[in-house]
Amino acid sequence: MDEFSFIRSIRPKDYKQQSLIKGIDDDAAVFRPIGEDVVTAVDTMVEGVHFSRQTMTPSDVGYRALAANISDLAAMGSTPAFYLVSLVVSESWSEAELHQLYEGMSELADEHGMDLIGGDTVSGSELSVSITVFGYVDKDKARYRSDAEEGDVVFVTGTLGDSRAGLACMQKSMNRTNEIDYLIGRHQRPSPRVAFAQALKNCKRVALNDVSDGIANETNEIAESSQVDLVIQANFVPTSEAIQAVFPQVVQEWSLSGGEDFELLGTVSKAEWSLVEEAASATGVAVTVIGEVKKMNDETPRVYIETEEGRTILRKSGYTHLKKEGE
């Protein structure tokens, strides 16, 4: 294998998106949006940080790296269209394993009608997969973190903490049961909530953020961005029967700060809440109210969490890169 034969081997034979003019073939790709806004994001997965050989097959690595990116497109309310893959390849990865990584990506890409239109391939000391995605959204219809307003309900899709629990099951080499298989599946192959976010199109205003680090982080991101306070009810936060059965002691902690669930956290006016419920049932996604948007008198936007013991501040507590001890 060399860089060039590898690129030839992963080059798509045909493309699905009509707006594509030039795919993999030249110095860069070209596409022509037709009257829509273009949404773009990039997220990276690094061996030893986001996955290890023990926790993910090569195909899972590809699947989840693309899922994390599609999740950001979903959080903007956009329709996925294109992706570019930048690979740093270490010596321990064979050509066959790299092909499996691309198969994992194209499995999910096909589900969403996305085309692979470029990338970059270099050698390095750890495998790193960085994916840039593009999506389309109707003009001025992107969903922003800054759109929460006082009086909104706060909601979340699916259940939280399962990805963290699945990771723990593998790290502890726990004997497989149906529950453990479920949790591991949620870690290895998360489901970005694209259809649900698109089904919210009838809502005039929704603030959305995807859950990559844990809602202790993402609720704070909405609060800061919208300059509001959020009050979350701890016992409303949805968790799966599987996590409750396997990890009863840590279910609350992991549902708040486990991260990598790639569910959607949102806020919407009470008047439009029924539209969110309709979107959820039309797309087969569970949606749960977990709190309310308030505006306290304090200048600093904050997130509060209410438990049986009372109300406390919910601080950012998920996984944070670049953080040094004591910071």
Ligand X SMILES: Cc1ncc(C[n+]2csc(CCOP(=O)(O)O)c2C)c(N)n1
Ligand Y SMILES: Nc1ncnc2c1ncn2[C@@H]1O[C@H](COP(=O)(O)OP(=O)(O)OP(=O)(O)O)[C@@H](O)[C@H]1O
Task: Give least dist CB 185 to ligand X, A.
Answer: 14
**Residue 128 is a binding residue for ligand Y (CB under 6 A):** no
Could you tell me if 265 and 221 are in contact, meaning their C-beta atoms sit under 8 angstroms apart? no
List interacting residues with ligand X (CB under 6 A): 43, 49-52, 55, 167, 212-213, 259-260, 319
Q: Which two tokens stand for residue 255?
A: 């549902």
Residue 269 assigned ligand-binding role:
no
**Residue 212 is a binding residue for ligand Y (CB under 6 A):** yes
Query: Looking only at residues 159 through 218 of this chain, which bind Mg ion when binding is defined by CB under 5 A?
Result: 210, 212
Task: Give least dist CB 221 to ligand Y, A.
Answer: 8
**Which of 60, 72 has the CB closer to ligand Y?**
72
Task: Give least dist CB 18 to Mg ion, A.
Answer: 27
> Where do we find the tokens 């001025």?
140
**Residue 213 is a binding residue for ligand Y (CB under 6 A):** yes
Buried b (16+ CB within 10 A) or exposed e, 101-129: bbebbbebbeebebbbbbbebeeeeebbb
- For the beta carbon of residue 223, count every other beta carbon within 10 angstroms: 23
Of 15, 29, 31, 43, the one binding ligand Y (CB under 6 A) is: 43
Helices (H), the chain: 3-10, 58-75, 95-111, 162-171, 178-188, 194-199, 215-226, 241-246, 251-257, 273-283
Could you tell me if 100 and 57 are in contact, meaning their C-beta atoms sit under 8 angstroms apart? yes
- For 225, counting Cβ atoms within 10 Å of its Cβ (0-12 exposed, 13-18 middle, 19+ buried), the class is middle
**Residue 72 is a binding residue for ligand Y (CB under 6 A):** yes
> How many residues at the interface with ligand Y, by CB under 6 A?
5
Which residues line the annotated binding site for substrate? 50, 260, 319
Chain contacts with ligand Y (rule: CB under 6 A): 43, 68, 72, 212-213
Chain contacts with Mg ion (rule: CB under 5 A): 43, 72, 210, 212
